[in-house]
Amino acid sequence: MTKLHEVKAEIANKIKSSKAIAVDVDGTLTEETGEISLQAISALREMKKKFRLKIVLASGNSYPVLMGLARYIGSVDLVIAENGGVVGYGSKFKVNGNRDIGLRARELVKRRLNHILAESWQNQFRFVDFAFKLRKGHSWSEAVKLVSNLIEKEIPEATSTFSGVAIHVKDRSVNKGLGLKVASEMIGISTKEFIAIGDSDVDVEMMIEAGISIAVANASPKALKVADLVTTKPYADGFMEFYKLISRILEAKSD
């Protein structure tokens, strides 16, 4: 793990040869308030226009929600929704994993932990990955542990993850790393030609699969551990720090 201002020649060279950016949304393109940063949107557009990088949004959000965001941001080539469960753009998308496993896990959590977790309104629009929000009077650490133990015991072919904003349950074969592999096939490049940037446990597999991984300063311990570079600032400010770095490197490349 290296701070962004300590970039070595090896990583700078990888950045120069990169062809795409895979970026998480919540906690990475957003402010601490959860609002998306207008500066970050402008930076994505600039990376597409000026440096001709492919832009992929990778999120735990449902496909319709993420596609709506991509449509209005513009410059987005693909989306990886449901933490790798759905990959595509518009009416052309691929669903990964076993939906029945996710549905069983969803029903189990609803039946056994309804007093702690409330089902996300997005679940009615989801294919594979189902999300739950915390009820008042409880802690995330308590909920994460209870869901993890329940799923591991009752449905071992499923898994649960905490994104920082919700607990997700799904087929354990599905993650953003798988989503990145599918996205790379759709775009026609290697996963190692991606730069991945994120902030939470659900971003870890994507960060490992990519050629270069960046964690913003507010990232989870697991995300920080696998990151090649870590920003000094959190949330969207960290993303803007990353944008300024790669802009310097890519502009130098064209000189």
The two three-digit tokens of residue 142, written as one number: 């308590």
Residues 9 and 57 in one domain: yes
Number of domains in the chain: 2
Nearest residue to 82 (alpha-carbon basis) of 146, 12, 170, 194? 170
pLDDT of residue 4: 64
How many C-beta atoms lie closer than 10 Å to residue 76's C-beta?
A: 21
- Is there a single domain that holds both residue 141 and residue 193? no
CB atoms within 10 A of CB 137: 7
* Mean pLDDT, residues 123-128 taken together: 98
Q: How far is CA 20 from the centre of its chain?
A: 14
pLDDT, tens digit, 9 for 90 and up, residues 13-43? 999 999 999 999 999 999 999 999 999 999 9
One domain for residues 167 and 231: no
Alpha helices in the chain (DSSP H): 9-17, 38-51, 63-73, 99-112, 140-154, 176-187, 204-209, 221-226, 235-254
Task: Examine the domain organization and report whether 78 and 139 are in the same domain.
Answer: no
The distance in angstroms from the start CA to the end CA of the chain is: 29
According to DSSP H, which parts of 113-197 are helical?
140-154, 176-187
Query: Locate tokens 């551990």: which residue?
Result: 225
8, 78: one domain: yes
Of 171, 186, 219, which marks where a domain is finished?
Answer: 171
How confident is the model over 229-239, as pLDDT tens digits? 999 999 999 99
CA 8, distance to chain mean position in Å, is 25
Give me the residues paired with residue 89 across strands.
92
The answer to whether residues 138 and 204 belong to one domain is no
Going by pLDDT thresholds of 50, 70 and 90, the confidence category of residue 247 is very high
Q: How do residues 67-106 score in pLDDT, each as one tens digit?
A: 999 999 999 999 999 999 999 999 999 999 999 999 999 9
Q: Which of 11-15, 124-128, 230-234, 238-242 has the lowest mean pLDDT?
A: 11-15
Mean of per-residue pLDDT scores for the chain? 96
> How many CB atoms lie under 10 A from the CB of residue 80?
30
What local confidence, expressed as pLDDT, does residue 7 receive? 74
Both 163 and 224 in one domain: the answer is no
Same domain, 180 and 84: yes
Catalytic residue among 24, 26, 129, 199: 24
Ramachandran angles phi, psi of 5, nearest 5°:
-80, 0
Angle at 47 between CA 236 and CA 59, to 5 degrees: 50
Q: In terms of residue numbers, what domain contains 220?
A: 2-95+174-254
**6 and 91 fall within a common domain:** yes
203 as an active site residue: the answer is no
> Hey, how many other C-beta atoms are within 10 angstroms of the C-beta on 62?
24
Same domain, 83 and 129: no
The number of residues making up the chain comes to 255
